[in-house]
Amino acid sequence: MDTIPSSVRTRIAPTAVGVALCAALCLPAWGGRPCESMPPTVASITQGLSLAERTVQQLDATGASVVAIARVGQDLSRYNVRYSHMGWAYKDGDTWRVLHKLNQCGTDRSGVYRQGIGDFFLDAPHEYVAGIVVPRPEVQARLLPRLKDAAITAPMHTRRYSMLSYPWAHRYQQSNQWAMEVLASAMDDKALDREGAQRWLKQAGYQPTELHLSALQRLGGRMTRANVSFDDHPPELRFTGRIRTVTVDSVFTWLQRSGTGGETLTIR
């Protein structure tokens, strides 16, 4: 186990569910992990490991040392969103590892975890599909030392979690937002904290996804889920139901549009 800050866990995160929809209110969820879950089946383990094997083969074929990696937790097509959760996969010797942020048991707290590729997909996802984007070589070179040394990325982590956190605020932080701010800190030596990382992302032209949620959805989500908060969103957006947040799809779109990364590779 690495000697790293207490906010970073190096272990298998069991039942690390990338996304769970609120059944009553249809609220999206990114990077969550429920406390109650069904035990994995032989079929789900087999499919998860098969996807992991194919993913490793594809990662090796790219010749990359760092890639953005995503999974499909549940069906978010109603929001025009394909992938639910992302992290950074990096080559450690001959082994691929994933550094990513997860919500802890549906609470308002989170941690950063280091896992193997197999662990990343052992969550009985909606689809056994992975998405990867290979950053430019110079971006990989900047990211790699930060991913290996969690102490460097620690300033980019806020433990308070909201699944729909506002991209340009610091009160909360969801999983995909963390991944983007880590990238920003790698690209800008002056981005020593989350404020600096967000400033770089704005200047680089990143645009979050805008979801449209009714007042009932917002109220119900806030009252029934500890990991849902909207008080970091500007009133003029929140009160009109325009909730902006970081989705994997918006990240992948920006990576390609900005030239920071290549096309999305899909692995089934």
Q: How confident is the model at residue 80 (pLDDT cuts 50, 70, 90)?
A: confident
Domain ranges of the chain: 8-267
Give φ, ψ of 87 to 5 degrees: -150, -170
As given in the structure block, the two tokens for residue 44 are: 């789900």
**27-31, 103-107, 132-136: the lowest-pLDDT one:** 27-31
What band does 162 get if pLDDT is binned at 50, 70 and 90? very high
The residue with greater pLDDT, 4 or 181, is 181
Q: Is the pLDDT of residue 223 over 70?
A: no
- Within a 10 A sphere around the Cβ of 188, how many other Cβ atoms? 17
The pLDDT tens digits for 251-262 are: 999 999 999 999
Q: How confident is the model at residue 25 (pLDDT cuts 50, 70, 90)?
A: very low
Question: What percentage of residues in the chain have a pLDDT greater than 90?
Answer: 63
Please tell me the distance from the alpha carbon of residue 172 to that of residue 23, in angstroms, as a whole number. 23
What whole-number distance in Å separates Cα of residue 193 and Cα of residue 65?
25
| For residues 155-165, average pLDDT | 95
Q: What is the mean pLDDT of the chain?
A: 84
Q: Supply the pLDDT for residue 24.
A: 32
pLDDT at 33: 52
pLDDT band at 52 (very low <50, low <70, confident <90, very high): very high
pLDDT at 132: 97
Which band of pLDDT confidence, cut at 50, 70 and 90, is reported for residue 127? confident
Pick 46 or 165 by higher pLDDT.
Answer: 165
214 compared with 100, residue with greater pLDDT: 100
Q: Provide mean pLDDT across the span 27-48.
A: 66
pLDDT of residue 8: 41
Q: Give residue 170's pLDDT.
A: 96
- In tens, the pLDDT along 186-213 reads 999 999 999 999 999 999 999 999 998 7
